Structure 1
């Protein structure tokens, strides 16, 4: 593979799992093309991906590379997608920071995602889920994404952030437009709204994320600036909503195609937490990790990476690596991984997803309500009629998942 591989190639997008399998079988690192920039090393194998996500010599902040010049991969992508320059400072969130800078932001946001706080949110997640499913069953079904998973996850993250209930429909619309490709307009709308929300919470504090971050700015020596609060909010709005809202229909689709595993889960509902991890392994929409840059020459899987070169790990390829997951294409909700969470759908290393516990809570509530209670759920269209949307490199999201839904008692 002398020429860089395009992950946007339709042949790759049609079946990314098998596409990544071909790359993984070829080499632990392969060159891929990125919009608006030079080729990037793609790490394809589980052990090497975990190494790359944890190696301190690989940094997400391009400016930390000695002698760096030009735009980072992320800046090139932002530019290629037509993001206005005034948005760039809000894209500089903790995803693109290392060391003390990253630790500072992570330390300030962690109180929002403590185990106690997530546990306290469980009744609210249950309530939202039941209300949405009540409307769906009354209608006899609908689109599982538009009518259930998207409003469920967006409402939960909006509540957590502190977005007023009256404003949540507008925020959901901007999220949808952003995902749909209207990046610039949707992003600027979210920035403008968040700045006004910060002003309101300064005047009337609450027990939400924005208020917590404002208090940190006022009381801690290293508290967040307004631009950093905006950046953190946008990160949570998009990352905290998109991945789980599409994990839920993906999981339903996978179990519909594996009726034996679904029957096993219904016969042993106590398997749900374990099943959740297997489903995250095979269905997570997050397929590519944030690019890293080598601060010095180093080797990954025996391949030389030169100082300044960009490296990204394929989470999907790692999660289907047969060296770690025997017969990886087979869905097995009782798979023995040696640990509860052996997949890396939430990443690994210092940038492990801060919202992982919330994502697991939402996924578990959704699958329990949809599959293990008094509902009859079935697909309303043939699988080959489903439409997909190409969102980013090697990322395809279901446009909709029409289902029939009714009460069984």
Structure 2
């Protein structure tokens, strides 16, 4: 990207909350809408939404995107904010700092992922709290009311919509990510997007349960491409793209299929980046390789200092932490990781950089989407690209009473209960 293009995009592309929080910044933090449109403009492309559980992941993902000249998303889930040093309220500041430190010039969206509401009583709390996220510089949000019934999911999205700036990226969700259980259907996806359109809302993304899992994908099933494509085809009139959750551990060929055969533009990757930064042995698509006794296999001389890794393992054992719950080591140990030598810190960042760059260029087809994103900003002359589709559904057919009646006709399998937040 030319410096002239970057400077022009920087002048008009940063939303007002970003300008207010970081008035002298040279970081091109943009709305999530910009990232989605850039992928659609290129075609058969999606970018990484890297869960920035710690600073090493954030810096590594940004460096990779800069090398690939790719627009990117850095995100954190609401639940991750409870066990990571990165939270919904400091992620924008962390991203801005890293962009300025590293001289990043590609467009970056800052996404609040899985802002969940598990029961109707959570809705007024969400409506009051969501503005505080945008006050800190967040530029995109995922409203996740998928734990509730289809009617309450739709009504919750409508109720909190006034708390989300119109220029911001907006993701909605119809199914928790539960692997083979509770697979999403075109009927429930269309119900949600149709009802949102009737109320003047156009989500940029929709997240499904399309067969994958959160954490490392070990089921052998993974993303169901045909299910995803069918749902996206049903949503074409509503302009909503796909957000692929649970990307970690799915093999590259399946991810290429998702990019090529569906309308997915956003792929969340969390666990794989964490493991790679630590120096845990993984296969070629980020799946942790366990030892015979069921432990993570740390590669000597890669990622963290070996002695510090051993401390983490001892801490985990003492606190009953194992498997996927190693994610809970981010909060107590990030300050220790920062205290390592510069060479060790850099190799942690570089490990993430290498893995993300491979995804962006060789798997996701996101190379050079930074230029496209900047062109979209300059063409609009604004940080606000507007909705992809205008309202065309009749709001009189989508009153609360009619929403409940229509939802009662949908045969929905939500799958088993459990902890499927991130």
TM range (shorter): under 0.3
Scaled by the length of structure 1, the TM-score of the pair is: 0.25
Q: Which has the higher helix share?
A: 1
TM-score (norm 2): 0.25
